[in-house]
Amino acid sequence: MFLKRITFLLFLFAAMLGTVQAQSPTDKIDPEAYNADLMVQSVLDGLNGVRWNAGLDSMLTSDILYKAGVDIAQAIRLPSG
């Protein structure tokens, strides 16, 4: 258990250090360069780090479930106006 906590803290520290070096407050964000796959992977990695620390299994992505979620979201979207 102690080793898991140390590993998680090291992972968290490395992630924070990488974030600090990756962007500064003066950087401009380009919406055209947004990478949704990278964002999904980053969120998944963060969630899995928390889950590993809690002794839980990792979450995986599923193209089928993603497609089902998109279809449902489009189906329940209310008409505007």
Q: How do residues 22-72 score in pLDDT, each as one tens digit?
A: 567 777 778 888 888 888 888 889 999 999 999 999 988 888 998 998 888
At 81, is the secondary structure helix, strand, or coil?
Answer: coil
- Supply the pTM of this predicted model: 0.48
